[in-house]
Amino acid sequence: MLDELCFEPATELAALLRSKAVSAEELMRAHLGRIERLNPKVNAIVTLDAERALEGARAADRALARGETPGPLHGLPVAHKDLLPTKGMRTTFGSPIYRDFVPDTDAILAERYRSAGAILIGKTNTPEFGAGSQTFNAVFGATRNPWDLARTCGGSSGGAAVALACGMLPIADGSDLGGSLRNPASFCNVVGLRPSPGRVPNWPAMNAFFPLSVLGPMGRTVQDVALQMQVIAGPDARAPLADPEPGSCFAQPLARDFTGVRVAWSHDLCGLPVDPAVTAALEPGLRVLEALGCRVEEAEPDLRIADEVFQVLRAWHLEGSYGSLLDSRRDQLKDTVVWNIEAGRRLSGQDVARAEIRRTELYHRVRTFMEQYEFLAAPVAQVPPFDVDRPWVTEIDGQPMLTYLDWMKSCYRTSATGLPALSIPCGFTPDGLPVGLQLVARSRDDFGLLQLAHAFQEHSGLWKRRAPLVD
C-alpha cells in the first residue's frame, strides 16, 4: 500500500526510488494524499504547491529513466520551514508583514536539498520570526500536536515536526536558537538535531557571525537525519562561520560499541524546575543507555551563567535583526517579539561585552567537564506538550516563569555552550504524550552524537510508535 510507504524511513525510500521499485510520482501522490487528509486537522504545512511538486516528481522519474545518477535525496518530498527563503515560493516568516513575500533567491539550505534531488512541495509553520517554542502566528494560526490535537507541537520548527509525525513528509529542516529543533521533536516523537555552529552554512543571514542560531535537520530516524547532514553540511563562502569539513563525514556507519563510555545524567540542568511527568518518562532512557554499555553517572557542568549569556545575546540579535520593524510596523508584531526587541534596546555595550566574556567562561567550564564525560543526557523540555491555546508556560512544578523564554532553559542553556545537541524519542507521559531525551556531545562531535542517538533508537524502538491521529 503506497500510503504505508509514507512511514518508511527516508533512507529506505531513497533506496526504493533509486531501484525504481517505486516512482517519485507515486511517492509524491502518496504524501500529497496524506497532506490532503491530515493537514486540515494539524495545520503543519502552510504553503503547498502540489502541481509544482508533481511536475518535479515526474522530472525526477524522467531523469532516472535517462540513466542520470540520482542524488542522495532523489525523489523525496520536502517542505522547508517558513523562515527559510525559497525562490518563487511564498516565505512569510510567520509575520503579517511578510504575508505575501516571495523571495527571488533560495537559501543555501534550499539549494542543497534541491541539488541532492529533493522535491520542494511547500513550507512548514513557525511562530513569528521563529520567536518562541510554541508554533502559532497571526498569518496561519496554530499547529496542533497529532498526539493530542488540543496540545501544542512546540516550536519553532513545529510544522516540520508535525509533518514528519503525520507521515506528510519523509524529511524536514528547521532552525534552532533556543531549542527550536529539539523542542518540537520531543513533543512529536521525532528526531531533531541542533548541529554545531557553522556545521550547516546559513545564508542569507542579517547577522552572519551570530553563532547561537543554527540550521539543522529533522527526521523520524537518526539515519534520516544523518542522510540529510551528508547533503546540507559543509563549507560555503557565503557563510563566514561555515565548517570546512564536508558533509560526506556523515556517510560513515552509525554503528558503534559504547561499552564503558561515560555519560553524565542531569535531571534538571542545574536546578531547573521539571514537571514530574517528564522526569518519570525519561527514567527508562537511562536504562537504555546502561544497556548499551554506557557508564551513566549523575553529574552536570555549572550552566547557570548560560541564562545571562543567552538572554543578552538573543535580545541583542533580535534588536539588530528586527528593530527597524519595531519602529515602522510595531502594531503588526506580537507582544513577545516587541518585548524581546525592547530588551535588546536597553542593553549597553558593557552588557553585551560581559555576556561575551561569560560565554567564553561557559565554554571552558563545559569543555573541562566534557573531558570527563563523552556525553551529557538531560531533559529536552521541562514540561510535556501543553494546551495549544496557551502562548507559553507560566509555571512549572510550582515555580513561576516570568518570560516566554524561561520555560525552555533546559534547551537554551545547552545552546549557549555551542555544543551539538539532539532530541531522541525516549518515553511517554501517562496521558500518552511524547517526551524526548536531550543528548549533548563534545565540541564539534556531531557525528559521535548521531552514533549514540542511533544506538539508543535501535535499542528502544520508540520511533516506530505512531500518533493516534495517523493510524
Q: Return the domain boundaries, the chain.
A: 2-301+366-470
Catalytic residue among 23, 95, 133, 156: 156
Catalytic residue among 81, 123, 334, 409: 81
pLDDT 10s digit of each residue in the chain, 471 long?
678 999 999 999 999 999 999 999 999 999 999 999 999 999 999 999 999 999 999 999 999 999 999 999 999 999 999 999 999 999 999 999 999 999 999 999 999 999 999 999 999 999 999 999 999 999 999 999 999 999 999 999 999 999 999 999 999 999 999 999 999 999 999 999 999 999 999 999 999 999 999 999 999 999 999 999 999 999 999 999 999 999 999 999 999 999 999 999 999 999 999 999 999 999 999 999 999 999 999 999 999 999 999 999 999 999 999 999 999 999 999 999 999 999 999 999 999 999 999 999 999 999 999 999 999 999 999 999 999 999 999 999 999 999 999 999 999 999 999 999 999 999 999 999 999 999 999 999 999 999 999 999 999 999 999 999 876
Q: Please check whether residue 425 is in contact with residue 462, taking contact to mean a CB–CB distance below 8 angstroms.
A: yes
Q: Is 395 exposed, middle or buried (0-12, 13-18, 19+ CB in 10 A)?
A: exposed
CA distances from residue 138 to 135, 313, 367 in whole angstroms, order as listed = 11, 26, 42
b or e along 324-360 (b: 16 or more beta carbons within 10 Å of the residue's beta carbon)? ebbeeeeeebbebbebbbebbeebeeebeeebeebbe
- Residue 2: what pLDDT? 77
Our answer to whether residue 157 is catalytic in this structure is: no
Q: Please check whether residue 375 is in contact with residue 366, taking contact to mean a CB–CB distance below 8 angstroms.
A: no
CA angle 454, 458, 464 (to 5 degrees): 110
- Residue 471: what pLDDT? 67
- Residue 469: what pLDDT? 85
- Residue 410: what pLDDT? 98
Q: Is 207 exposed, middle or buried (0-12, 13-18, 19+ CB in 10 A)?
A: middle
Q: What are the residues facing 191 on neighbouring strands?
A: 219
- Residue 1: what pLDDT? 66
* pTM score, whole prediction: 0.98
User: Which three cell numbers mark 365?
Assistant: 567550564
Whether cis (ω within 30° of 0) applies to the bond prior to 204 is yes
Q: Was domain 2-301+366-470 assigned CATH 3.90.380.10? A: no
Catalytic residue among 23, 95, 133, 180: 180
User: Which three cell numbers mark 220?
Assistant: 523520524
Our answer to whether residue 464 is catalytic in this structure is: no
- Residue 3: what pLDDT? 84
Our answer to whether residue 443 is catalytic in this structure is: no
Whether cis (ω within 30° of 0) applies to the bond prior to 156 is yes
Q: Please check whether residue 121 is in contact with residue 168, taking contact to mean a CB–CB distance below 8 angstroms.
A: no
- Residue 258: what pLDDT? 98
